[in-house]
Amino acid sequence: MSNTGKLVVFSGFSGSGKGTIMKELMAKHGDDYALSVSATTRGPRPGEEHGREYFFISEEEFEQMIKADGLLEYAKYVDHYYGTPKSYVNEQLSAGKNVILEIEIQGALKIKKQFPDTVLMFVSAPSADELKDRLVGRGTETKEVCAQRLSRAYEESLGIEKYDYLVVNDKLDDCVELVNDIIHSSDDTKKNQDYLVSSNIDFINKMRKELLSFSKGDK
């Protein structure tokens, strides 16, 4: 992939606000970016549209894409497939855009393995309690699914150290500008020292411990 744009993978716990950050980033700085639209077999949530948030397709259609080698990566998450179609990403990179993929950790690591220059960013809520409040508060899922997502968040926390940058989504506007700044200066690790995953191990360990308590039903 010879291009002037960067491939950026953006992951985070369900409920961390990563989708909202991406929408605001595109609204404010859209000329610099192309947001890759993933395919999924889950149904749309209220307000979501086919081709905007996701390509909502059947499991059979998704498995046909796998067989045709039409995906950069794919994974199964809470009983549904998610994957990144190749064609759009290649077109936008060739046009010099910074292409953002909002995908789960399994897919992120597959992309990094294929393209080592990829910038991996992980977004978290300020605390596990805040993450739980956001999941419950959006009211789009049952208690059981919220519990599944919190349990999955603990599993995802075990892989954060494989990312380049950690962004804590406390104030949305500040977070959006921070993400934009990091992407444009991602090669300058000295400038971005405070946001490197390696600089935030204490925070990561604290989140991991709290999420483990949720997954065990202790909290």
- Give me the tens of pLDDT residue by residue for the chain, a chain 219 residues long: 444 689 999 999 988 999 899 999 999 999 999 988 889 999 999 999 998 889 999 999 999 999 999 999 898 888 999 998 888 888 888 888 999 998 888 889 889 988 889 999 999 999 999 998 888 887 777 888 888 888 889 999 999 999 999 999 999 999 999 999 999 999 888 999 999 999 999 999 999 999 998 876 655
Residue 157 DSSP SS3: helix
- Give the number of residues written for the chain: 219
Q: Any known ligand binding at 198?
A: no
Closest CA to 206 of 138, 130, 137, 145: 130
Compute and round to an integer the Cα radius of gyration of the chain: 17
Q: Residue 133's domain is classified under what CATH number?
A: 3.40.50.300
54 located within any domain: no
Q: Any known ligand binding at 17?
A: yes
20 located within any domain: yes
pLDDT at residue number 179: 96
Q: Any known ligand binding at 16?
A: yes
Q: What is the DSSP-derived secondary structure letter of residue 124?
A: E
71 located within any domain: no
Burial class (CB within 10 angstroms; exposed 0-12, middle 13-18, buried 19+) of 36: buried
How many domains are there within the chain? 1
206 located within any domain: yes
11 located within any domain: yes
106 located within any domain: yes
Q: Any known ligand binding at 14?
A: yes
Residue written as token pair 């292409």? 99
31 located within any domain: yes
The amino acid at residue 30 is G
Q: Any known ligand binding at 19?
A: yes
Q: Provide the residue range defining the domain that includes 28.
A: 7-36+98-215
Q: In what order do the strands lie in the sheet with 71-77?
A: 54-56, 38-40, 80-85, 71-77
Contact 56, 40 (CB under 8 A): yes
pTM: 0.82
Q: Exposure string (b/e) for 72-85, b if CB count within 10 Å is 16 or more?
A: bbbbebeeebbbbb
Q: Any known ligand binding at 94?
A: no
- Determine phi and psi for 10, rounding to 5 degrees: -115, 115
114 located within any domain: yes
